[in-house]
Amino acid sequence: MIKKININSQETRVTWIALLNKEGIKHEDNVEEVFGLFENDNLIATAARYQNVIKCVAVDSDYQGSASFNEIISYLMNQNTSHGYFKHYVYTKPESQKAFEYLGFQAIENVDNKLVFMEKAITGFNSFIKKLEAEQVDKENIAAIVMNANPFSLGHQYLVEKAASENDFVYVFVLSEEMSVFTTSIRTELVKAGLSHLDNVKVLSTENYMVSNATFPSYFLKEDDDTTAIQARLDAKIFANHIAKALKISKRLVGEEPYSRSTNLYNEAMKIEFADKLDLEVIPRLANNEDIISATKIRNFLIADDLNSVKKYVPKTTYDFLVSEAGKAVIMALKESNHEHP
């Protein structure tokens, strides 16, 4: 029998973690639902989901080789579908790749012998790449920028304007994952509005093929593995080996983050994975009177109702949205979210 596991209950949580630990997997709390396959009230297999990403998969070693793996993963995919997700993703150990392939999953990219990123979808990664190929332009020097734009700031605008002035064409990818009160559609529209004066820039979606902290697993990596570095290498490989090739991109630009260890790790990973494939250019962050512009700072001003300060950090297009009725609703949601998670 498969049933939902309440990991907020101490008793069931201990049982769940015990199975994960037995199979050499660390537990992860960044999940939306956890399910278990039980035999005579004994937990023999488990799997969890965060949106449409399958996580924390473990089958008791006494039952490996049985139908338990197929049963729990098939059940979880049905749960994904019931929540409106028709693409399924998993990050797994290389030794588990075959088991997922038997269920129709295909590998997208891998990092050494540590991790494989896989999906099961009718219109998946290959369709995404073909969609990108349809956006190709007949230009020589083509650059790319990937941003969250939460929200779109003068710093983002500066980075793209610099890229557009120094390259024939620029693709701007907006991260698709819903992780903020500034939804994907809002962030994308703000980016498009803030770049509408540039005729050699195209705004595109990353869909599900740029990794985030929420979706990326650490639960099966070794203690001495640097999770951020592996995540960065996976992202860099997907970009260099697939996305850049599809659009004939020769350079990726990133904004400098002098105080962010994770961003520096990302930049180092890109330097390694981009070698002999495309260039990486790190652009110093735009400052406002020596005050670094950041989306975090802007959100804090919004929470404090300090729109005068916000105005100094965002383009007119972003500011006009923020003072609109739709923008006011986003600010209210931002305040409520901050109150819940200070």
> Quick one: 190 and 328 in the same domain?
yes
Distance CA 113, CA 54 (A): 20
Position 286 in a domain:
yes
- Burial tier of 11 (Cβ tally within 10 Å: 0-12, 13-18, 19+): exposed
Is the N-terminal amide bond of 151 cis, ω within 30° of 0? yes
> Quick one: 177 and 309 in the same domain?
yes
- Burial tier of 192 (Cβ tally within 10 Å: 0-12, 13-18, 19+): middle
* Residue 38 near residue 44, CB atoms below 8 Å: yes
Position 124 in a domain:
no
> Quick one: 46 and 163 in the same domain?
no
Position 130 in a domain:
no
Long-range CB contact pairs, 101-104, < 8 A, 24+: 102/70, 103/70, 103/73, 103/74
The domain that holds 51 is classified in CATH as 3.40.630.30
Q: What is the pLDDT along the chain (342 residues), one digit of tens a residue?
A: 999 999 999 999 999 999 999 988 888 888 999 999 999 999 999 999 988 999 999 999 998 877 999 999 999 999 999 999 999 999 888 888 999 999 999 999 998 888 899 999 999 999 999 999 999 999 999 999 999 899 999 999 999 999 999 999 999 999 888 778 999 999 999 999 999 999 999 999 998 887 665 455 554 445 445 677 787 888 889 999 999 999 999 999 988 776 667 777 778 888 889 998 999 998 887 766 556 788 889 999 999 999 999 999 999 999 999 999 999 999 999 999 876 555
* Residue 297 near residue 310, CB atoms below 8 Å: no
Which of 88, 115, 147 is at the close of a domain? Answer: 88
Which of 88, 118, 146 is at the close of a domain? Answer: 88
Position 290 in a domain:
yes
Three-state DSSP state, 172 = strand
> Quick one: 80 and 151 in the same domain?
no
Total-model pTM: 0.87
pLDDT score, position 224 = 47
- Reference 47, options 115, 60, 179, 125; nearest CA is 60
Position 28 in a domain:
yes
How many structural domains does the chain have?
2
Position 131 in a domain:
no
> Quick one: 167 and 311 in the same domain?
yes
Three-state DSSP state, 2 = strand
- Please name the residue ranges forming H helices in the chain: 10-22, 68-82, 97-101, 125-133, 154-166, 184-194, 227-238, 244-247, 261-274, 295-303, 307-311, 316-322, 325-340
Range of the domain at 66: 2-88
Cβ contacts of 159 within 8 Å, gap of 6 or more: 145, 147, 253, 255, 283, 286
Distance CA 223, CA 1 (A): 33
Position 105 in a domain:
no
